Amino acid sequence: MSALLEVSQLKKYFPIRKGIFGKQVGAVKAVDGVSFNIKKGETLGIVGESGCGKSTTGRAILRLIEPTEGEILFNGTNVSRLKPEELRRFRTHMQIVFQDPFASLDPKWTIQKILEEPIRTHMKLPEAEVKDKVANLLEVVGLSSYHAQRYPHEFSGGQRQRIGVARALALNPEFIVCDEPVSALDVSIQSQVLNLMRDLQDQFSLTYMLISHDLSVVRFISTQVGVMYLGRMVELASTKELFREPLHPYTKALMSAVPVPDPDATKNQIVLSGDVPNPSSPPPGCTFHTRCSMANEICSCEAPEWKEVSPEHFLACHLY
C-alpha cells in the first residue's frame, strides 16, 4: 500500500529573542529534521519524553504550528505549500484529538454546538441532517443522542475524550493526529478509549498518528513506532520489530525504564544518568551521547546519519 502521509526533513525552530528590538539570539530546535511515512489505515506511534518535540511534530504536520522547513505530502498534496484558504478546506482531511479533555472543549458550549461547528463550517447540510449527524457521531463514540444538550462539565474525563474523538470524526477525515489521547485518564477508562479508537479505525479505515509517552499504549495501538529524542527521531521500525529488537541505546533504556506490572518479572534495567539536555543548546554530535553508556569519540563530534539498517527499520546511531 502506498503512503498516505510522507513527511521529509520536517523542522520547527522557535526563535529566542532578547533585548528591546527583539533580536534573535538563538533558536530552540524543537523538531530538527524528522522524516517518516504513514501508510493508509496504519498507525504511527511517536514516543519520547517531555520536550522531545513529539507534540510539535504532530501540530506542524497539521500546520497548527507553521513548520520552519520540510515537506509534508498528504495523498500527493503538498500541505506545506497550501495557501490559507486552501489549508482551511484541506483540514477536513486531517484532524486532531487533544490531550486534555478538560481544556479542549469550550465550557460555555453545549455538546451539540461543539460537534456542529466543524460540520457547519465545512459542509453545506440542511438543518435536519446536521442534527442527525451529531446524534450519529455521539452514538459512534459510545454516547447517546440525549447527551447533545449537555455542557462539557457534566461529563467525566473519559466521556469528554469521547466527545473530542467525535469532533475529530465529524468531517469524515482520513487522518487523525492523537496527541496523548489517554494520558489524562485512569487505566480502566483508558482501555475503553483505546478500544474505541481501534474500532473506529477499522470502521472508517482511519490512519492515526499517536503521540504518547506511554510505551505500552503505543504498542497496543500502533503498527509502526518512532522514538524521538531532543527534536530528532532516533529509531523508527514496525512495532513488532522495535519491541523485539530495539537497536538504539535510548530506545533500549526507555523500554527498560517502564515499570512492569508483574512482581515476578526479572529485568536488566538500564537507568540513564542525568537529565535531558536543554534543547536551546543541544550537545554537539549525537544529542544522546551525554547520557549514552556506549558513546564513543565520534558520537560527541559527528551527528549520526538517519539510515535504513534493515528493511523498514530506520536508525540514527554510530554503533550500527
Partner 1 sequence: MKVLDLKTEFQTPAGVVRAVDGINLTLYPGETLGIVGESGCGKSVTSLSIMGLLPKGQSRVSAQEIKFDGKNVLAMPESQMRQIRGNQMAMIFQEPMTSLNPVFKIGNQIAEALQFHLKMKKTEAWKKVVELLRLVGIPRPEAIAKEYPHELSGGMRQRVMIAMAMACNPSVLIADEPTTALDVTIQAQILNLMRKLQAEKGTAILLITHDLGVVAEMCKGVVVMYAGQIVEEAEVKELFNNPKHPYTKGLLASLPRLDGSQDRLESIPGQVPNPLNIPKGCRFAPRCAIKMDRCDQLKPELADLGHRHYCRCLLCQEEDS
C-alpha 190: how far from chain center: 17
Per-residue x/- marks for partner 1, 106-145, CB under 8 A? ----------------------------------------
Distances (CA, A) of 65 to 55, 104, 156, 223, 227: 10, 17, 30, 26, 21
Give the gyration radius of the chain's Cα atoms: 21
Contacts to partner 1 from residues 49-88, by CB under 8 A? 49-50
Please identify which residue in 68, 75, 145, 191 interacts with partner 1, judged by CB under 8 A.
191
* Rounded Cα distance, 30 and 55, in Å: 10
Contacts to partner 1 from residues 266-285, by CB under 8 A? 269, 271-276
Other Cβ atoms within 10 Å of 82 Cβ, number: 17
* Residue 52 neighbours by CB under 8 Å, 6+ apart: 228, 229, 230, 231, 276
294 binds partner 1 (CB under 8 A): no
257 binds partner 1 (CB under 8 A): yes
CB of 306 to partner 1, least distance (A): 22
186 binds partner 1 (CB under 8 A): yes
8 binds partner 1 (CB under 8 A): no
Please identify which residue in 43, 56, 161, 190 interacts with partner 1, judged by CB under 8 A.
190
* Rounded Cα distance, 10 and 28, in Å: 14
Beta strands 77-78; 94-97: pairing state: unpaired
C-alpha 130: how far from chain center: 30
Instruction: Choose the stretch contacting partner 1; rule: CB under 8 A; options: 24-32, 170-178, 201-209, 252-260.
Output: 252-260
What does the binding site for partner 1 look like in residue numbers (CB under 8 A)?
49-50, 156, 158, 186-192, 194-195, 198, 213-217, 219-220, 239-240, 243, 253-265, 269, 271-276
